[in-house]
Every structure is written in C-alpha cells, then in structure tokens.
Chains A and B, each alone.
Chain A
Amino acid sequence: MRYVVLAAAVLVFLGAGGLVWLGWYSAIAPIQPPARASFPPAAIAQGAELAALGTCMSCHTTPGGAPFAGGRAVQTPFGTIYTSNITPDPATGIGTWSEAAFRRAMRAGVGRSGRQLYPAFPYDHFTKISAADDADLYAYLMTRPPVRATAPPNDLSFPFDYRFLISAWKLLFLRTAPFHPEPAESMQWNRGAYLVQGLAHCGACHTPRNFLGAEESGDAFAGGDAEDWYAYALNKASPAPVAWTADGLYHYLRHGWQVQHGDALGPMREVTDDLAGAPDDDLHAIATYIAAGLGKHAPPGPQVATKAGPGEALYRGACAVCHGDSHGPPFAGIDLARSSALRAPTPTNLANIITDGIPATGETREPIMPGFGAVLTARQTRDLIAYLRTRFDAPHPRDGIEDAVKAARANTAQLEATR
C-alpha cells in the first residue's frame, strides 16, 4: 500500500511538470477506413508474420472472442486495464487511424485523438520497430474483419485513472531511441536483438518492474511477473537446470515445448500459440540472441534421498506415474529434476501447475496435465511443493509457498466459473 501512495505522489508531482514539458498531443485527422486494395498483398502477408512475432492477438483478444477486438483484462498493480479493439471498425476500433496515427501510437504511446495510452501497451518496446515494419503491421491490421466491440472502462485506482500522469511516466521511463545494431555480432544475433527488444517485447514479462511499473532497464531479463505467473529469468540467473541452447529455444518457441525443459505454460503458452505464424528464420534469430545472454549451468545434481514427509505419498500417487516416466515430453511429464518451475525463486508457477494442471483447450493440440486443485487441500498442496523442492534439490527459501498456493487456488476457482 505504502508504495502505491508513494508512486501516486511521484506521478502527480511529475505529471504537472510533465504536462508543461510534453504538452498535449494534437489529434491526427480521422480517415475513411482504407480499402484492402490500397495495401500491397506482400505488405499484408509480411504484417501477418510481424503480428505473430508481436503476439498482438493474445492481449487484444478475449478468450473465445473475435480476433483483435480487444476487451481482455490486463491486471496491473495499479488496477485493471482492458485492451483496445485494434480491428478496423471505424466506431470502436482503429478504422479511422491513418498510418501516421498508428505509427505515433507504436512509437510514442499516443492514440489518434491525442490521448495518452497506458504502457500496458508495450510502446516502450515498440518504439524500436522500423517504419517499414510498422507499415506492414498497419496493412495487416487494417485488412482484418472489422468488429464492433467496445472494451469495458479501465478500473484503475486513483490517481492512476488520470491519463495526464502517463506523460510524466514517459518523461521518466520512455526512451524512444531506434534500435542500434551491434556491428561485432552476427546478422542473426542482430535480427534477434531487434525483434526481442522491439516487436516481440520479451522484457515486458521477463524483466522486473519498478514501483511505477516500468522495466528495470539495468536488470534486463532478470525475471518478472506475467499476470498470475512468474516469467523466468533469461539472463545468467536462468533457473533452468539444463542450460538452454539456441536450438533448444528455437524448438520451444516453434512447438511450445522442449524435451529438456518441458512445456510453455500460462501466458507463455499463448505466446507460443501466436508464434505459430512467425517465420522460422526469425524464431532462430530470437533463440540465438536470447541463448547468447543465458548463462552456462552445471548439470542438475542427483536426486537427494529425502526423509518421508507428508508430501511424499502425494508425489508417488499423483505425480510419479507421469513425471517418473523415462520418456519425457511430449509423451510424459518432464523429469522434475529438469523443471524450471521447481527452481524458480518463487513457487508461483509450481502452485499454478499443481492446482490447475494444463487444461485441455478447445483449439490447440497440446499436452494435458490434470489439475489437482479439486483433490488437494491448500495444506496438501503446500506439503507437496515443499517435498518436491527438497527431493529435487531446488535451492530456494521455503517462504512464499503459502501465498502462491492461495493465489493459485483463487485463480483456479475463478477460471472454473468460466469453464
């Protein structure tokens, strides 16, 4: 609570100054929604691949809703933001946006009308996208079926509901420098860097955020929060017991799982679903860049013999039948000695996976793990987590388990109400 008040005070103070400094943005004149024929087919096709790399769909679509019609709730420490409709509907989407208006939104986080956009829209990354790529993205989005849909109003706590404060935030945190290639690195590495830092906005989840919700630029890829999940560190602090390789990362991004590391879960599963439309070369480039920043690890130690705790029988009866199997993904669960969830600094993901499992979803062909929230009490779930961490020698403090289990159970109950 205290930090929210502090954050509010800082923003209000700077907001006043920021307004003077930045001034109002003027509206960009509305246009008639452009005809499909006004875009070269190659631009639309290129834009489709770019939209996949930017995973635009997963945030701008509600579960089961019309693609790009927005309305999805994004939880932030400051309240709930509902994503906008980016179909070319003139009344409720971006149908009246010119390419210049679109590019200003991507570069500077300002809507066509001059309205400040909340940085839940990751323009702190998109500002690095080239003008040519923005043009292709625009061509793609403006040729999607228009959907009339208005997102619910944001539900932000005072004073974050005042958009003028965003200009202060930008003053503090938005750096609009274009992408600068590293001449010493390979073309592939640079392509990966361009995508990761810009369009793919990996740091939006994998980099920790400060008390004003901005990425800690000095701590890039040190691990962060993604909705109700923990996004693992992608730097030398990676909790993966087996070191990622560029090839392994490529497979993971392409297929949503990797034999040494397991499955993409939670928000990352949505990312890999979206990446289905991304070109192979770009996924290789992303994998090359990310892998270069990851540390090398010692292989995981042998399983330690543990004294029987209350979690042991739960593990043997519920988990071992799949996770003790030697086949591994995709035929069985991952050997938990290789699990990043177990070795992450927070037990958030572990609690989520045990409680909700990996549910069967309508359209995707993915692994399925039964959730155990229906049979395990909160205490049994905690016992199981404690046992797993001991058994698989996951060197992390035991605190946080209670909160993680409580949150996972609350989220699952909410999910089930909609299932």
Chain B
Amino acid sequence: MAAKVISPGLSTSVQDLGRPGHYHVGIPEGGGMDRFATRIANLLVGNDPGAAVLEATFMGPELEFTQSAVIAVTGGELPPKLNGEERPTWESFPVKTGDRLSFGFLKGGARAYLAISGGIDVPVVLGSRSTYILGALGGHQGRTLKAGDELPIGEGSGKAGLSLPANLRRVWNSPAELRMLPGMYWHRITEAAGNRFFEETWKVAPEADRIGYRFRGGTPLEFVEREQPFGAGSDPSNIVDACYPYGSVQVPSGTEPIVLHRDAVSGGGYMMLGVVISADMDLIAQLQPHTPARFVAVTLEDALAARAEQRAALARAEGYLAG
C-alpha cells in the first residue's frame, strides 16, 4: 500500500497544515506553503483537508502506485500525466496498481500539491506529518524525497471526476502585489527610503524556498542614524536578536528584502520593516524566481478584511465540493 518514488523532482516533500505551538523552541509551523491548494487537493480526493500531501516545487516527481487510489493535483499549473497521458489539474482521477504518474513542465505558479485518497501516512511528529527539512523532522525521514523512497498511503474512499471550477480558484496578478502592514522596525529607515520601498518593483530572487523568499532589484535602504544599542551588532540593519513573525520582511544590510514563510527561521538579528498579511502568504508560495512583485502598504483593518475575504473564498470552494 504505497507510492514508489521513481524520480523525486526538484524539491518534493510531505506537507499537511502544519504544527503550530513549537515556535518558541525554534520549530516552525511548516505545512503546505499554499494552504488553499493543500486543502482543496485533499477535498477533491475525499480526504480531511489537513491530510498529508506532496508539495512539488517547480518540477514534479515521478511515482508508481502499488495500489489503486484517487488522486488530484492543485496549486501551480504543473500538468499531471498518467502513464504518459495528460490529465487535468484541480480534478480527481483514479490510478491503479502499476500506474505511473509524471508531470509536464510548469506553466504557471511555482508549487503543485498532489493529494492521494487516504493521505500520505508517514508518522505524526509533534502533531503533524509536515517535513521540516532544516531540522530533519517529520515527513518522510525528515527530508525531501529521493528516488527509491516508498510512501505509505492510508485507507481512503475518494470519488474520481470531482473538480473545482476556475472561477473558484485564486487568480494571480502580475506584478504580484504583496500586501504588508508596515511596523516592527519601520522607524529605522528614512521616510524617503520607506516611500521608495513601496514604489519600486522588485523581483523574486533565485533564493526562494520554504524558509523564505528573497527579493532583488530595488534601491538599498537608508537608515536613520543612531548609535547601535548594546548587543545589537554593528550593522545599521542589526537589532538585538528577536522573534521573526511569519511573513515578516527583513532586510539584511538594507539591500535585499526576505519574506519569511512556513519554515521560517524563528528569530535573528535583522530589523523587519513589517509583515506580509496572512491572506497573501499562499500567493508567495506560487511566485517563481524573476517574477516582478510590489509591496503594498495596508492597515490592520485592510488585513482583516482581506483575511475574511479569503476565508469566504475557501468556504465557497469547500461548499461547492461538498455539493
């Protein structure tokens, strides 16, 4: 009762909805970077929305099934192929013993989510099956997949042919607009630098992974001059090491902003300009390197309204799939 990994793709790992509650000892919540896609993939195959799926980055794995199941692929446009024949995304379809699943080239977004009816049944560690790669924790042996791995699959009962229509999926604009609540150490930069930060168009750097996304192409920040506080370190971007929120935007040496994601480093000594709102975290998961992106300043009220909108969109999709 398993799926065999023939080839692993570029960076494929087991993820669910994460393990909150351990950030104070440096263990991040983890889980699918695109939560909406993770939940919908599961619902399409009759799983609990928090079952474990595979998250494939930029390139898909190749798998061979040793049992029949129903599967679905959501998230970025990474077209699945069953025994070489293309299948639609956002739609469940059956697989049987000996079938091979592979993927075509990525056409949009950055990460695809593969759900298998019954869920990927790796051991639960600290309340979750998610892989925390940096800490070698959870998932399949605490790491990304390798050729030859065998993934245990649980018992499931999904129906083939269930799909989520395009108008119920999330749309990505270009340039990507990342809404952000300025704050934290915003006062450390000059007003002109702050204005420029929001006016300029940045680009996703190649260093973009589950820990965080780096952006390049904007003007380096000017800092307000000060004598550095005791213990902070000598660079003007240094602070006494503090906790980093999920979505926080740190700018080491004032040059390249980094937005921390689900596998965030939990703290460190760089000032943060603010935090990308929770409603836009899924969007970051689907940005490819070199994608143009802008940061857009919002208020807490805007952030809460966007969060409510996103919940409503999820409820509409879930309602549709529940029939």
Q: Do A and B bind each other?
A: no
